[in-house]
């Protein structure tokens, strides 16, 4: 037998307005403009530009209040009412009702001929039979964005048989691949870096340096990549000057020939600063990009429709349905306008706090003046949630006297130096970078030696920490930094 009982449950749920605000805050300027354009297209009750009358909002609110007194219309709107059974929005299925995966990723693409088409067009200048052309076009189609073919010839042979109905041998594919290697840019179609460099050297004008470089790549590639220069000098019986000349030729080659093709369809991201910081009379001045502060207002035409309905004596069912639609659009327009205002305030307050926290850096531009700062520091200061600060920092840029910076770059953890002071890890990384730049390139410092130097400068950190910072700075190990 089923038993009935009552159960009290306390739960938190984001309102549609809150969800809308969170999504708007995380948008950078360009994506925000696209979102604004979309809202204007979808909601005819929303207009841009200055209003004709300053009291329009007041008139609209009064007319709606009078209308609500005469007609019973449901004004308490539940977010579930806007959802269909077969369409569940992302925020319903993500942790904490939002996630980084919701970020807008609308990025413009460059138009033009694709890299693959560029290569296929060049094949027309070669005399090939039908089988060779099919193989060549398949090989060109297998070239990745870097310009390499990273598949085994046996796999390509199987794919040709199954997908193109071309039954051939690895030897024929190898011969056709040699033709692909003659296409521009030089090095395209290579199966590895060694072959790529070798192809490029073979197409250069011959000279003693080029001949030696080709010999090193073809017969001493492993020693070259590991910078075992003494072994190369002994193996090829050459002088240091000769080796320097050969290395200079190799360094001029392109390890990613596909990336050099200007017509390659690639993503081009345009960075538009969301804020600007200037130094005026020795003080910092923060401004919000005007494109983040559009002039929006509720359509007077829709407001007049509500007034007309109120004044009409006979109200048909069709009119009631129409007025419900109008009211929903008006509510949505007011919600969006309020969300925009809150977005502007949140962005400005957050960035203002960051600017004052890192005042010394913004006045000098010296990264060593960056204070240790984490999201919670700013969140506590402006009395907002850490997630809100994170949304502002992750995708926004600020124009400073020292260039355009990503805001999240100003955040860093801290450590204690030998004087007991809290210093930013960014400061340590900057010093580490400077030490490596000034080192003797013939005998680069190991991570252990770098840790010792930093300790002498007052930053006692372990060797493994030095290695971690070095990797974050994208700096190679000592052996690979070695130069003649």
pLDDT digits (tens, 9 = 90+) for 424-444: 677 778 888 888 888 888 888
pLDDT score of 270: 67
Q: What angle do CA 346, 100, 372 make, to 5 degrees?
A: 60
pLDDT score of 336: 84
Q: Is 10 part of a structural domain of the chain?
A: no
Half-sphere exposure of 68 (CA within 13 A, CB side): 11
pLDDT score of 314: 65
pLDDT greater than 90 at residue 141:
no
* Position with higher pLDDT, 249 vs 55: 249
- DSSP SS3 for 406: strand
Quick one: which H or E segment has residue 96? none
Asked whether residue 189 falls in the same domain as residue 278, the answer is: no
- DSSP SS3 for 403: strand
Mean of per-residue pLDDT scores for the chain: 76
Residue 391's nearest CA partner among 350, 426, 331 is 350
pLDDT score of 349: 93
Asked whether residue 255 falls in the same domain as residue 120, the answer is: yes
pLDDT greater than 60 at residue 56:
no
pLDDT greater than 90 at residue 5:
no
pLDDT score of 14: 57
What percent of the chain is modeled with pLDDT above 70?
76
pLDDT score of 348: 92
Residue 479's nearest CA partner among 452, 442, 433, 449 is 442
pLDDT in tens, 208-237: 888 888 888 888 888 888 888 888 888 888
Q: Is 70 part of a structural domain of the chain?
A: no
- Total number of domains constituting the chain: 3
**Token pair 């349905």 is at which residue?**
321
Q: Write the CATH number for 425.
A: 1.10.10.60
Quick one: which H or E segment has residue 222? helix 221-225
**Token pair 């395209």 is at which residue?**
188
Asked whether residue 252 falls in the same domain as residue 362, the answer is: no
* Position with higher pLDDT, 94 vs 65: 65
pLDDT score of 353: 94
Tokens for 97?
Answer: 């009702």
Asked whether residue 365 falls in the same domain as residue 465, the answer is: no
pLDDT in tens, 296-339: 777 777 767 766 666 666 667 777 777 778 778 888 888 888 88
* Position with higher pLDDT, 411 vs 352: 352
Instruction: Give the least confident one: 22-36, 158-172, 189-203, 314-328.
Output: 314-328
Asked whether residue 119 falls in the same domain as residue 256, the answer is: yes
Instruction: Give the least confident one: 12-26, 94-108, 159-173.
Output: 94-108
| Residue 288 near residue 275 (C-beta atoms within 8 A) | yes
Quick one: which H or E segment has residue 6? none
What percent of the chain is modeled with pLDDT above 90?
7
Distances (CA, A) of 298 to 39, 55, 131, 387, 471: 12, 12, 66, 31, 53
**Token pair 């080029």 is at which residue?**
210
Peptide bond into 381 cis (omega under 30): no
Q: Of the spans 235-239, 283-287, 292-296, 461-465, which averages the highest pLDDT? A: 283-287
What does the DSSP 8-state code read for residue 310? H
Q: Is 56 part of a structural domain of the chain?
A: no
Rounded to the nearest angstrom, the gap between the alpha carbon of residue 26 and the centroid of all alpha carbons in its chain is 13
Asked whether residue 42 falls in the same domain as residue 24, the answer is: yes
Asked whether residue 209 falls in the same domain as residue 123, the answer is: yes
Dihedral of the alpha carbons of 334, 340, 345, 351, in degrees to the nearest 10: 170
- Helix locations, 229-371, DSSP H: 229-236, 240-251, 300-311, 317-357, 359-364
Q: Is 193 part of a structural domain of the chain?
A: yes
pLDDT score of 166: 80
Instruction: Give the least confident one: 110-114, 217-221, 238-242, 356-360.
Output: 110-114
pLDDT greater than 70 at residue 121:
yes
pLDDT score of 23: 80
| Residue 436 near residue 446 (C-beta atoms within 8 A) | no
**Token pair 């204007």 is at which residue?**
40
pLDDT in tens, 364-392: 988 778 888 888 889 999 998 888 888 88
* Position with higher pLDDT, 299 vs 397: 397
pLDDT score of 388: 87
**DSSP per-residue codes, 74-142:** -----GGGG--TT---GGGSSGGG--GGG------B--S--HHHHHHHHHTTS---HHHHHHHHHHHHT
Determine the structural domain holding residue 150 and report its residue range.
115-260
- DSSP SS3 for 287: strand
Mean pLDDT score, 152-170: 85
Asked whether residue 101 falls in the same domain as residue 167, the answer is: no
With b meaning 16 or more CB within 10 Å and e meaning fewer, what string describes 97-128?
A: bbeeebeeeeeeeeeeeebbebbbebbeeeee
Measured between alpha carbons, how far apart are the two ends of the chain, in Å? 88
Q: Is 210 part of a structural domain of the chain?
A: yes
The alpha-carbon radius of gyration of the chain (Å, integer) is 32
The Cα–Cα gap between 439 and 462 comes to 19
Instruction: Give the least confident one: 43-57, 188-202, 424-438.
Output: 43-57
């Amino acid at each position: 037998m089923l038993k009935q009982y009552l159960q009290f449950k306390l739960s938190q749920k984001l309102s549609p307005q809150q969800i809308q605000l969170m999504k708007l805050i995380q948008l950078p300027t360009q994506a925000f403009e696209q979102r604004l354009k979309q809202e204007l297209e979808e909601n005819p009750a929303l207009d841009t530009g200055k209003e004709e009358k300053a009291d329009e909002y007041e008139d609209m609110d009064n007319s709606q209040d009078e209308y609500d007194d005469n007609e019973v219309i449901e004004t308490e709107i539940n977010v579930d009412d806007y959802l269909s059974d077969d369409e569940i929005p992302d925020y319903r299925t993500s942790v904490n009702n939002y996630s980084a995966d919701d970020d807008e990723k609308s990025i413009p693409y460059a138009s033009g001929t694709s890299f693959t088409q560029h290569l296929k067009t060049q094949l027309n200048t070669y005399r090939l039979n039908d089988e060779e052309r099919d193989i060549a076009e398949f090989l060109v189609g297998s070239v990745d964005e870097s310009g390499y073919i990273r598949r085994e010839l046996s796999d390509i042979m199987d794919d040709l048989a199954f997908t193109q109905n071309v039954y051939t041998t690895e030897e024929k594919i190898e011969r056709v691949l040699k033709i692909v290697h003659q296409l521009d840019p030089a090095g395209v179609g290579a199966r590895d870096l060694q072959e790529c460099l070798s192809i490029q050297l073979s197409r250069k004008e011959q000279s003693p340096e080029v001949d030696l470089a080709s010999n090193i790549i073809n017969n001493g590639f492993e020693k070259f990549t590991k910078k075992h220069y003494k072994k190369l000098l002994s193996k090829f019986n050459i002088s240091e000057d000769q080796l320097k000349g050969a290395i200079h030729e190799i360094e001029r080659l392109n390890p990613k020939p596909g990336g050099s093709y200007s017509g390659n369809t690639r993503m081009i991201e345009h960075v538009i600063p969301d804020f600007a910081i200037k130094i005026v009379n020795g003080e910092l001045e923060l401004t919000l990009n005007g494109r983040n502060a559009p002039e929006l207002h509720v359509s007077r035409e829709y407001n007049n429709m509500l007034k007309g309905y109120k004044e009409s004596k006979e109200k048909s069912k069709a009119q009631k349905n129409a007025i419900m639609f109008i009211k929903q659009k008006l509510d949505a327009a007011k919600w969006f306008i309020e969300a925009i205002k809150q977005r502007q305030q949140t962005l400005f307050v957050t960035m203002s706090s960051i600017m004052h926290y890192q005042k010394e850096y913004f006045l000098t531009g010296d990264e060593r003046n960056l204070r240790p700062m984490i999201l919670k520091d700013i969140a506590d200061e402006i009395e907002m949630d850490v997630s809100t600060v994170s949304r502002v920092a992750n995708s926004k840029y600020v124009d400073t006297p020292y260039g355009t910076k990503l805001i999240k770059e100003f955040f860093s953890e801290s450590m204690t130096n030998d004087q007991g002071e809290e210093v930013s890890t960014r400061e340590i990384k900057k010093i580490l970078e400077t030490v490596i730049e000034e080192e003797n390139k013939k005998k680069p410092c190991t991570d252990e030696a770098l840790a010792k130097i930093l300790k002498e400068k007052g930053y006692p950190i372990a060797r493994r920490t030095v290695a971690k910072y070095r990797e974050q700075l994208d700096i190679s190990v000592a052996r690979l930094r070695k130069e003649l």
